[in-house]
């Protein structure tokens, strides 16, 4: 009997090959799916980015204001 040719070793080798086939299939299908995606045009991307920046700044300012109000209330309590 050759070393590594036991039924267990062959089963593990077959399982590894099947897992690798699954991984390769996943990447191939993902690549094909990305070909079908409609990517945004540059002006749309810029508009969306500006909206995200503005929303982030407004949210930050709101949270800063709320934090300062709570800080003042807590300073009065303590």
Helix (H, G, I), strand (E, B) or coil at 1: coil
Same domain, 68 and 49: yes
Continuous segment of H or E residues that includes residue 75: helix 42-77
Whether residue 48 is found in the same domain as residue 66: yes
Domains held by the chain: number? 2
State the Cα–Cα distance between residues 68 and 62, nearest whole angstrom: 10
Say whether both 56 and 72 belong to one domain: yes
Task: With H, G, I as helix, E, B as strand and everything else as coil, classify residue 38.
Answer: coil
- This prediction has a pTM of 0.53
- Residues 42, 39: Cα–Cα separation, whole Å: 9
The model's pLDDT over 8-57, given as tens digits with 9 standing for 90+, comes to 777 788 888 888 999 999 999 999 999 998 889 999 999 999 999 999 99
Domain span holding position 14: 1-37
User: 78 and 46, same structural domain?
Assistant: yes
**CB-based contact 40:48 (threshold 8 Å):** yes
Do 46 and 60 have their domain in common?
yes
Using an 8 Å Cβ cutoff, are 58 and 50 in contact? Answer: no
């Amino acid at each position: 009997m050759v070393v590594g040719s036991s039924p267990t070793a062959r089963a593990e080798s077959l399982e590894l090959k099947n897992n690798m086939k699954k991984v390769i299939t996943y990447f191939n299908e993902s690549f094909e799916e990305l070909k079908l995606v409609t990517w945004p045009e540059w002006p749309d991307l810029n508009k969306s980015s500006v909206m995200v920046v503005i929303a982030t700044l407004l949210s930050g300012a709101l949270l800063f204001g709320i934090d300062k109000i709570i800080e003042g209330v807590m300073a009065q309590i303590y």
